[in-house]
Structure 1
Amino acid sequence: MYDPTRLAALVAVSEAGSITRAAERLGYTPPALSQQVAKLEREAGTALLVRHPRGARLTAAGELLVTRARRVLDELELARHELARVAGLAGGSLRLGTFQTAGIHLLPPVLSAFRRAHPDVELAVANHEPPAGIAAVAAGEVDLALTHTYAPAEPVPLPASVAAEPLLVEELVLVTAPGHALADGSSRLPLGALAGQPLISMAPDHPPRQGVEAALARAGAAPSVLVETPGYALVCALVSAGLGVAVVPEMVARTSATPLGTRLLDPGELRRTISVVHRNDGPTPTADAFRALLRGAFGRAVRQS
């Protein structure tokens, strides 16, 4: 019988496209995740991954096993969810913190599923732009908070009382006005090609984006408009109007209300990780059930992207 932890490791690599990104998502070191995959390959008796300079891809056997593994993992999450209900998860409340992108595009279906399963739990949702959600969980203002970090960036220190579970890792992509020359092409665009381009930029003092802004500055992108609040809808609208180009998370580009051209960047090292923050001392069945739903929903978001 295959170990579910190793199956989850293989699924994460297939979704992230590399051992390194999958390890970040699961909270492993890359060598530790490689060991999990190697053990699974020994159990399967065949190679499941082919490593290459930019990451890893599944073999035919790997594709087959990942398809089955997703069903197994979904069933295990469902069982955990149903057991929580049998255990009497009823009544009480759940207070959630979120930031705008996740609150609009990822959280609603999870809340809907949770409401169907636990109609007696009172739900409250508050806006906490990162990293404010971390402090809100530590202070007991919310039970769970969705937050994000960017790479490259200085790591955000976590209070000893809380932990962060990565849910989704996505690349940052170039967005342009429709028909822009830089969006014309299927290959990755070297970051240096942004030299001299007018950039719709987050303000330099916006902590989550400082590392990304510094990388763009080193590539020679010239700030054209500074957006002083973390509002990607405004950034995309300005880009769509032809005021400059921008580098935004892939989900933001995909769900933009205004028409955009998009292109992957080379190297694909500019990333955003979305995590759920929770307290370490005595997790509640309500919070645990919601985190289980988050894992499934965010995993589907990755597979559909």
Structure 2
Amino acid sequence: MYDPTRLAALVAVAEAGSITRAAERLGYTPPALSQQLAKLEREAGTALLVRHHRGARLTGAGEVLVARARRVLDELERARHELARLAGLSGGTLRLGTFQTAGIHLLPPVLSAFRRAYPDVELIVADHEPSAGAAAVAAGEIDLAMTHRYEPGDPVPLPSSVGADAIFVEELVLVSAPGHALTSGASRLPLAELAGQPLISMAPDHPGRREVEAILARAGATPSVLVATPGYVLVCALASAGLGLGVVPEMVARTAATPVGMRLLEAGELRRTISVVYRTDEAAPAADAFRALLRGTFARARHT
């Protein structure tokens, strides 16, 4: 029996004409989508796609399977809508609070999947700093909030009516101007190498960054510029301009708007965990469905 997820991948490639464009639409990386398509071809026992320099096109067998796949996926979509009505997901509103990094880089594919599955639920997305997100959920102002915490560091206590699911863990990495000696190596950089280096200090009085800043200070990094409020876009821009080194989440460094050098730090002891916060004292079908999509999306990402 064919996996519906792989059938949807084949249909997406047929419509987009490219594995890369289909991967963007589905929220996969191109290699992960290619793996799903290769598994589908093994299940079918024949080639379904011809790859070429401009993208990909269906073989004769691929055209046959796509025609049938569309019918199967349409029936599954109707079933999802009927089940959504039974589960109380045929209307209403889901209010989601998020900080900037998660809103830009993590949520769009999950929001797209939620909208496809539950088109009748209105989505409201608003900016919420992590420090305020849990309180807003507890107060009933929003249904879910994306938050984060840094390690090492003490976790911020949650209100008694609130729970949290960890969905994504990433390391903090060193960023610099392109070509800087400290970010030119391929191996992990010992923290001792930061001694005497100018540091763009990132909100040292912010509870989430306090322990991170303390470790960098003990390593001997010398503050050269202080960014007093959390803002990684600005930190990367200053590092890119040669005003100092920054230590930021890896996701931020890899998607920086300005060119930066990047290097992993020794031991990987500096990390950021991103979580979704929710109320535990009431039934919330839309919030529960969105949390399940979040967990499924990032569990899949960890295994591809």
TM-score, length-scaled by structure 2: 0.71
Provide the rounded CA distance (Å) in 1 between the counterparts of 2:250 and 2:190: 17
Cα deviation, residue 131, structure 1:
1.4
Tell me the residue number matched to 2:140: 140
Tell me the residue number matched to 1:90: 90
Q: Secondary structure at the match of 1:167?
A: strand
Cα deviation, residue 272, structure 1:
0.1
Provide the rounded CA distance (Å) in 1 between the counterparts of 2:97 and 2:261: 32
What CA deviation, in whole Å up to 9, does each residue of 1:247-302 have, x standing for no partner? 11110111111111111111211000000000111231111110111112333454
Provide the rounded CA distance (Å) in 2 between the counterparts of 1:199 and 1:159: 35
Tell me if the contact between 1:172 and 1:250 (Cα under 8 Å) persists in the aligned partners.
yes
State the one-letter code of the partner of 1:157.
Answer: P
Q: Secondary structure at the match of 1:137?
A: helix
Tell me the residue number matched to 1:227: 227
Provide the rounded CA distance (Å) in 1 between the counterparts of 2:114 and 2:168: 20
Larger Rg over CA atoms: 2
Q: Secondary structure at the match of 1:189?
A: coil
Q: Secondary structure at the match of 1:175?
A: strand
Q: Secondary structure at the match of 1:272?
A: strand
Provide the rounded CA distance (Å) in 2 between the counterparts of 1:235 and 1:124: 29
Tell me if the contact between 1:199 and 1:222 (Cα under 8 Å) persists in the aligned partners.
yes
Q: Which runs of 4+ in 1 moved over 2 A?
A: 81-88, 296-304
1:160 aligns with 2:160: yes
Q: Secondary structure at the match of 2:287?
A: helix
Matches within 5 A, 1:176-191: 176-191=176-191
Tell me the residue number matched to 2:197: 197
Tell me if the contact between 1:171 and 1:271 (Cα under 8 Å) persists in the aligned partners.
yes
1:150 aligns with 2:117: no
Tell me the residue number matched to 1:282: 282
Tell me the residue number matched to 1:11: none
Tell me if the contact between 1:191 and 1:267 (Cα under 8 Å) persists in the aligned partners.
no
State the one-letter code of the partner of 1:241.
Answer: A
Provide the rounded CA distance (Å) in 2 between the counterparts of 1:230 and 1:250: 16
Q: Secondary structure at the match of 1:172?
A: strand
What CA deviation, in whole Å up to 9, does each residue of 1:102-127 have, x standing for no partner? 00111111111111111111111111
Cα deviation, residue 161, structure 1:
0.5
Tell me the residue number matched to 2:217: 217
Q: 1:234 to 1:84 in 2, by over 3 A?
A: farther
What CA deviation, in whole Å up to 9, does each residue of 1:206-227 have, x standing for no partner? 1111111111111111111111
Matches within 5 A, 1:261-276: 261-276=261-276
Tell me the residue number matched to 1:104: 104
Identity among equivalent positions (%) equals: 73
State the one-letter code of the partner of 2:86.
Answer: A
What CA deviation, in whole Å up to 9, does each residue of 1:190-213 have, x standing for no partner? 011111111111122111111111
State the one-letter code of the partner of 2:142.
Answer: V
Q: 1:136 to 1:84 in 2, by over 3 A?
A: farther
What CA deviation, in whole Å up to 9, does each residue of 1:57-85 have, x standing for no partner? xxxxxxxxxx9xxxxxxxxxx99x94952
State the one-letter code of the partner of 2:254.
Answer: R
Q: How many residues align?
A: 227
Q: Secondary structure at the match of 2:185?
A: coil
Structure 2 unaligned spans of 5+: 1-38, 40-75
Cα deviation, residue 185, structure 1:
1.2
**RMSD value, Cα:** 2.0
Provide the rounded CA distance (Å) in 1 between the counterparts of 2:162 and 2:171: 26
Return 198-207 or 239-248, whichever deviates more: 198-207
Cα deviation, residue 303, structure 1:
5.3
State the one-letter code of the partner of 1:211.
Answer: E
Structure 1 unaligned spans of 5+: 1-66, 68-77
Tell me the residue number matched to 2:296: 296
Provide the rounded CA distance (Å) in 2 between the counterparts of 1:164 and 1:283: 16
Q: 1:241 to 1:163 in 2, by over 3 A?
A: same
Q: Secondary structure at the match of 2:137?
A: helix
Cα deviation, residue 168, structure 1:
0.6
Provide the rounded CA distance (Å) in 1 between the counterparts of 2:237 and 2:218: 25
